[in-house]
A and B are shown apart, each in its own frame.
Chain A
Amino acid sequence: MSDFNRRQFIKLVGGITAAGLSGLAFALPAKPKARVVVVGGGYGGATAAKYLRLFDPGVQVTLIEKARQYVSCALSNEVLAGDRTLESLTIGFDGLARHGVQVVHDEVTDIDAVKKQVKTKQGKSFAYDYLVVSPGVTFRWGDIEGYDEDATELMPHAWDAGPQTLLLKKQIRAMPDGGTLIITAPPSPYRCPPGPYERAAQVAHYLKAHKPKCKVLIMDAKSVFSKQTLFEQGWKQHYGDMITWVSSADDGQVFGVEPENGVVLTEFDEHKADVVNVIPAQKAGPIAERSGLSDESGWCPVDQRTFESTLHKGVFVIGDACIAGAMPKSAYAANSQAKVCAAMIAARVNGQAEPEPSYVNTCYSLIAPDHGISVAAVYRLKDGTIQSVQDSGGVSPTEATPQQRAREALYAHSWFRNIVGDIWT
């Protein structure tokens, strides 16, 4: 892959326009070099689609995504706090179309890795030379007794941004002062490791101002969690003893719920709350399992150099759904993996050597509007697995001034603006 810059990019557009195809930002050549189908238009899939077009405009890219608009989970905890609208997290696909990506709103129901085609709910089929699958996560219904899809109307998960987020927000708004919110945190691995703990902080930020006698209880299936020291420090600093975390070692793991009664059940105890937010255990999105891309772990094994499935050649799995060594299931990780995957496909299409991969993750959490914390890592492929580079990365320092925490909050919002721009525009 050669260096690519905007100048070459504009030259190319100009060339096509000069050829009499004005009106089209990108005209597809009569016969594309290769046909790539991307399944899923979230942080992973949309990045792959855009960057494939940037790397090689001769490649035909079709993105198949059920939703007309994507709603970002990242920053959706601020909606619960009341500091942000869901609309501000809602993104359309016009930007991808401007890069020459063919966006199809449909649902892939079947992947035929032998015939190299996908079939959709609307009865269409799409042939491909390379398939990129970025299906995100789905829940392991049944792991918590009594928690099924109907129960989400009483005890929202709010782990897909959208109506569930608004339902949880509404319930929290209706809570009496002195009431209790229980958040059940899932076992690893799951989408957005610090998410449940940021959620506790963002809800507390609202409660502190409106219902200061309320309590937030996190019932955890784990005995440690992401950025733990920084969260515990920030919770105490801003919200006193409003937030309590219960480790799995202290009977924190929830095994059952009674949605009608607001009750959660642990091994030895039961807890009643005014609002219960169940974040269930997770696995790769439905299409992964249905098409044999996931293994008994529920996640998709891939060659971590290219993200090509080890179960189906010619199919690449990126984002939350794949097993990516030391990388967490985060938006930035999906964005980074998608670029590596797109570069590998572009190299193959052009018969070039596959470049040495480089991956990164940066993940911000907001404890209060002016208090951000982060975790970051740079990764390389070593012995076939993605490993973080020694002596690099890590979390924000425990000792920091309010000014430094405020800068990280500024950069958290900056991150959202830029990653959305990098993906969907």
Chain B
Amino acid sequence: MITIRIAVGLLGCALIVTETAGAGPVDPAMVSHTCAGCHGTLGASLGDAPVIAGLPEQYFLETMLNYKTGSRYSTIMGRLAKGYSQAEIEAMARFFAAQPWTTQPQQTDPAQVERGKELHTSRACAACHGPDGTPSAPNPAIPSLSGQFAEYLVTQLEDYRDPGTAIPPAALPMRAMVQGLTDKDFRALGQFYASQQPPAANEQ
């Protein structure tokens, strides 16, 4: 399949980018199963790579496209996202959005969880992320944090705080939100969300 994308370059001239996405139509399962080696079968990670099963379709799509263009920093995802066409990323986004949010129990320290909960409350995180890390009403742009892996959440908070790290425009409010928080605060927040197992996570 060949898709032609017209991009406007820095100098204002139109460039035609030809993208060869293979000879046949995109098979959603085929492209999505390539992720499982790092993100677990059907995206249900066993940690510390993030759970991607059940991410909102729009969030998944935007995340991958941001990795692809470099608007979101990553260690490895940028290199991988560049290998998939828009159509393939759209197929993956639908595939993973159709999976249930599947988390694993994580060892957490009660004192840290308590501290994280205080921060979650005092920083008004719940306004967007819901009382336990899951938005009260499904939001296509905001993933659930409940039960997500603590170590992964900490990396994301670090990226939000560091002004030299690329984050997408949609995440800019987070850059403001986390200023003044310490590494210790990040660990506490990570532990709090990790401890919030969504109800009946494994029975959906």
How many contacts between A and B, using CB within 8 angstroms? 142
Query: Which residues, 380 to 425 on A, are CB-close (under 8 Å) to B?
Result: 380-382, 388-389, 391-394, 396, 403-404, 407-408, 410-411, 413-415, 417-419, 421-422
When C-beta atoms are compared, the residue in chain A nearest to B99 turns out to be A5
Question: Quick check: which of A199-207, A295-303, A358-366 contacts chain B, the rest being far away?
Answer: A358-366
Binary per-residue interface labels of chain A (320-339) against chain B in the complex, 1 for a CB within 8 Å, 0 otherwise: 00000000000010011001
Q: A408 touching B75 by the CB < 8 A rule?
A: yes
Question: Quick check: which of A24-32, A139-147, A241-249, A371-379 contacts chain B, the rest being far away?
Answer: A371-379
Does A89 interact with chain B (Cβ within 8 Å)? no
A353 to B81, CA, bound (A): 27
Question: Quick check: which of B38-46, B55-63, B129-137 contacts chain A, the rest being far away?
Answer: B38-46
User: Known: A7-B100, A340-B30, A418-B39. Is A404-B75 also a contact (CB below 8 A)?
Assistant: yes
Query: Which of B23, B102, B155 lies in contact with A381, CB distance below 8 A?
Result: B23
A309 nearest CB across to chain B (Å): 21
Q: B80 touching A403 by the CB < 8 A rule?
A: no
A394 nearest CB across to chain B (Å): 5
A379 to B83, CA, bound (A): 7
When C-beta atoms are compared, the residue in chain A nearest to B162 turns out to be A403
A356 to B22, CA, bound (A): 7
User: Known: A5-B98, A419-B37. Is A358-B46 also a contact (CB below 8 A)?
Assistant: no
B107 nearest CB across to chain A (Å): 14
When C-beta atoms are compared, the residue in chain A nearest to B41 turns out to be A422
A380 to B84, CA, bound (A): 10
Q: A3 touching B37 by the CB < 8 A rule?
A: no
Does A357 interact with chain B (Cβ within 8 Å)? yes
When C-beta atoms are compared, the residue in chain A nearest to B85 turns out to be A389
- B interface, over-half SS: loop
Q: B155 touching A407 by the CB < 8 A rule?
A: yes
Query: Which of B21, B23, B83, B204 lies in contact with A388, CB distance below 8 A?
Result: B83
Does B34 interact with chain A (Cβ within 8 Å)? yes
When C-beta atoms are compared, the residue in chain A nearest to B164 turns out to be A401
User: Known: A362-B37, A389-B83, A404-B75. Is A355-B24 also a contact (CB below 8 A)?
Assistant: yes
Query: Which of A339, A382, A403 lies in contact with B33, CB distance below 8 A?
Result: A339
A374 to B48, CA, bound (A): 16
Q: Which residues of B contact A359 (CB under 8 A)?
A: 34
Query: Which of B23, B39, B95 lies in contact with A3, CB distance below 8 A?
Result: B95
Interface range, A side:
35 or more
Does B27 interact with chain A (Cβ within 8 Å)? yes
A381 to B23, CA, bound (A): 8
When C-beta atoms are compared, the residue in chain B nearest to A51 turns out to be B33
When C-beta atoms are compared, the residue in chain A nearest to B49 turns out to be A414
Query: Which residues, 39 to 93 on B, are CB-close (under 8 Å) to A?
Result: 39-42, 44-49, 75-76, 79-84, 88
A352 nearest CB across to chain B (Å): 10
A356 to B81, CA, bound (A): 18
- A interface, over-half SS: mixed
Does B7 interact with chain A (Cβ within 8 Å)? no
Q: A336 touching B37 by the CB < 8 A rule?
A: yes
Query: Which of B23, B24, B48, B88 lies in contact with A410, CB distance below 8 A?
Result: B48
A354 nearest CB across to chain B (Å): 8
Does A275 interact with chain B (Cβ within 8 Å)? no
A332 to B38, CA, bound (A): 9
B5 nearest CB across to chain A (Å): 14
Query: Which residues, 2 to 23 on B, are CB-close (under 8 Å) to A?
Result: 20-23
Query: Which of A339, A357, A380, A394 lies in contact with B79, CB distance below 8 A?
Result: A394
By a beta-carbon cutoff of 8 Å, the part of chain B in contact with chain A is 20-31, 33-42, 44-49, 75-76, 79-84, 88, 95, 98-100, 102, 151, 155, 158, 204
A-B contact pairs, 26 of them (CB 8 A): A1-B29, A3-B29, A6-B42, A6-B44, A6-B99, A51-B33, A356-B27, A360-B34, A362-B37, A378-B34, A378-B80, A381-B23, A389-B83, A389-B84, A391-B82, A392-B82, A393-B79, A396-B76, A408-B75, A410-B48, A418-B37, A418-B38, A418-B39, A418-B46, A421-B41, A422-B41
By a beta-carbon cutoff of 8 Å, the part of chain A in contact with chain B is 1-7, 51, 332, 335-336, 339-340, 343, 353, 355-360, 362, 374, 376-382, 388-389, 391-394, 396, 403-404, 407-408, 410-411, 413-415, 417-419, 421-422
Question: Knowing that A3-B28, A7-B100, A381-B22 are A-B contacts, what are 14 other residue pairs whose CB atoms are under 8 Å apart, sorted by A's residue number?
Answer: A1-B27, A3-B95, A356-B27, A358-B31, A360-B35, A376-B80, A377-B83, A380-B21, A381-B23, A407-B75, A407-B155, A414-B47, A414-B48, A418-B40
